[in-house]
Structure 1
């Protein structure tokens, strides 16, 4: 493995790992705050126990995300010094604001975890809500920095120099809103389905059914926001990509020839040599509509661009197809859930219904990882689109493969520790948090 591939592999692993916790941090506190609000309004001890159980999970995932995020910050300087030398002064603002949001989130989480029966009940609830708001802001600010890499703005590039820097324009670049909106929707969908899937599994075990049913319904309520918001955010993102990065759109659809009324390609195996997509299903004119809003609109093909500027077409195409597939599946499942909730309530307790949602536990995060693959791989060979190529930004330091192996070991270890902690936390729920369980015995009244 050469140093360039090692650097890219390490960054891909780090981003793929961290993005899960970033999404959890954007959404999970809102589930916690909603459950807490239900407790304050109803006085139900089940909602109180659920809030406490979820808050402990938020704390565990927050700590893991803090570790992986810190590692990412170091990696940017370690692996891409040329990039940070020039880009740091331009998009430093969202990173600094993200740091502020992170500290607010940490402080509010501390107040929430240790504030039971010590703080005013509504101030305590507000602390939980602030955890969610600051977590959401943190994620959006990081996306703003990534969006700048896809749509660089806020500077003039003259004779190899970055001048006339405007950090406000850099942060609110053209890609910022489409990416931030799509990411937020995806986070709600992924986290909602993941939490609902865990509680669906626990309902299937026939223990603490009332407790986990309430949790399942809250989680699905948030999942529906993402599932039904995805088509809208995806449409906005697609039209933005068409305007800014037509070559990425062409790679997403393995679209080789420029044409009007372009078909939307489902599945298939792209062949870059022949410019064909084998074994695919084509839906006439849909790609043109998605890209331009006109069924007869023109969509540029890959052959319009120099071959050395093509991203890896197969990787981008497959990732895009995976994202679309799981997104559609979750949207359909959201429809089934609503039908059951309002028309077929007996389905809610059926084994097949609960198994379906348990199986869907990872679907949102699979789609999320695939979407980020499209975003990052689809930008190649550029690290700053149209300005700096990735290979020109990599560190000249040798031995990066050993750094990759070390960081891989760290992330695998973190994943194992996290799995152990979350598993233990789930096993502790009946005894410490669920008043409907016969073994319920909280350690203290203020636990």
Structure 2
């Protein structure tokens, strides 16, 4: 059964009416999800990538009997615990928000989406358990056993992220159910979990997580070197995460390109918005850099002939399908989608060129860690990677509009009819997230200051040593 057939059975209202009707709960629901997901996804990146980076640093410390590497691994574990604790709050909030903000979605498809959400919760709890074992295992476990407590953290972080991405991939390519007389039946939850597009979408996010975390950690030590702290601690603290970020930055353009292959068939409106293709060209489409769509006309774009077709269609003659093939009520917000997509691509290419430059000069035996301009660039790579991450999610989620489940359920059908309470929740969430952000910054800066002052082993509030003194 095609998505169009499913949409017809699920709705008794004409398409044009659905497009114009906006329930009162739609706007606050969108704002709340943007805040919650935009904030939580950064912490999720650290849950995915940080354990592997800690593992490599800890392994280096054991194999080379390197106290600097072991010290860095121990410090990073404490930082990871702080970020994980904050992520617990935002993740718990999100688990309630899906049903609260989108009753139409969860009321209709809750049974379809239950399995991946259940596995994600299980992975989350297992990650917390092994983080606690690793955090309090220093000096209390055999070195190799202690080291391998990091591995389950990395694995569960990956599993949890895969499950969440499976839900999002399903929203972009719904499967695993049928609709009979307006009712969702024949539910196949494993088909949702192993959607054919989940693996590539997960890979794109997984690589992005290593870019965010690798560049962010390296940037911290770049700032330290800018302030004159050029000891081995800072150089090693920069180099190891920067290696992870390098691999991710080089791989990401290829992963993203493969993920986008076939988008003209799956979601042609999204591709048209990405490429700012208002009309379908007679021949090859140009690549449009920048520009906006105003009153049906593209203005201010730099056009490179043929390149749009080559990148999007793999052809020098086949045009990119334009918005003229899409019904008006099915078009996404074109300008926002286009600029978000190009922001992601532009920053990704900049970061890729930056790592290539670093390793080229290192191959030429030029130490860029003594170059203040490079250190300044390295310091901003973390924030740039975060911006690219957020822009990528804006592009994929806004580009799917007006569908919350592509071709099956519109976002207007998923939102609730009441808004007063949702606006209060949005206000309270803004205060909570702002407070947690300030608190995290204060705690992490305090930890860094005390480490610089020579405190090598900061006490853990619930560690065995602290409890023994109660």
TM-score by length of structure 2 reads: 0.89
Instruction: Give the aligned length.
Output: 437
By how many angstroms is 1:255 displaced? Answer: 0.9
Secondary structure, aligned partner of 1:258: coil
Tell me which residue corresponds to 2:364. 343
- Cα distance in 2 for partners of 1:322, 1:239 equals 19
- Cα distance in 2 for partners of 1:442, 1:154 equals 51
After superposition, the Cα gap between the structure-2 partners of 1:143 and 1:441, relative to the gap in structure 1 and judged at 3 Å, is closer
Runs of 4+ in structure 1 displaced over 3 angstroms?
Answer: 439-444
Say whether residues 1:282 and 2:280 are aligned partners: no
Q: Deviations over 1:348-374 (max 9, x none)?
A: 212122111112230100000000001
Q: Is the 8 A contact 2:127 2:153 kept in 1?
A: yes
Q: Is the 8 A contact 2:24 2:419 kept in 1?
A: no
- Cα distance in 2 for partners of 1:55, 1:183 equals 23
User: Which of 336, 339, 345 in structure 2 is aligned with 1:324?
Assistant: 345
Q: Is the 8 A contact 2:24 2:416 kept in 1?
A: no
User: Which of 262, 273, 296 in structure 1 is aligned with 2:285?
Assistant: 262
By how many angstroms is 1:58 displaced? Answer: 0.6
- Stretches of structure 1 that go unaligned for 5 or more consecutive residues are 432-438
After superposition, the Cα gap between the structure-2 partners of 1:201 and 1:443, relative to the gap in structure 1 and judged at 3 Å, is closer
Q: Is the 8 A contact 2:43 2:84 kept in 1?
A: yes
By how many angstroms is 1:347 displaced? Answer: 2.2
TM-score by length of structure 1 reads: 0.94
Say whether residues 1:253 and 2:275 are aligned partners: yes
After superposition, the Cα gap between the structure-2 partners of 1:268 and 1:123, relative to the gap in structure 1 and judged at 3 Å, is same
User: Which of 173, 177, 181 in structure 1 is aligned with 2:195?
Assistant: 173
Secondary structure, aligned partner of 1:270: strand
Tell me which residue corresponds to 1:48. 70
- Cα distance in 2 for partners of 1:139, 1:367 equals 18
Say whether residues 1:190 and 2:204 are aligned partners: no
Q: Which moved more, 1:340-349 or 1:3-12?
A: 340-349
By how many angstroms is 1:3 displaced? Answer: 3.0
Tell me which residue corresponds to 2:180. 158
- Cα distance in 2 for partners of 1:36, 1:133 equals 17
Tell me which residue corresponds to 2:150. 128
- Cα distance in 2 for partners of 1:243, 1:219 equals 38
- Cα distance in 1 for partners of 2:315, 2:48 equals 35
- Stretches of structure 2 that go unaligned for 5 or more consecutive residues are 1-22, 466-470
How large is the Cα RMSD of the aligned pairs? Answer: 1.7
By how many angstroms is 1:312 displaced? Answer: 0.6
- Cα distance in 1 for partners of 2:417, 2:24 equals 12
User: Which of 371, 374, 389 in structure 2 is aligned with 1:353?
Assistant: 374
By how many angstroms is 1:174 displaced? Answer: 3.1
Secondary structure, aligned partner of 1:361: helix
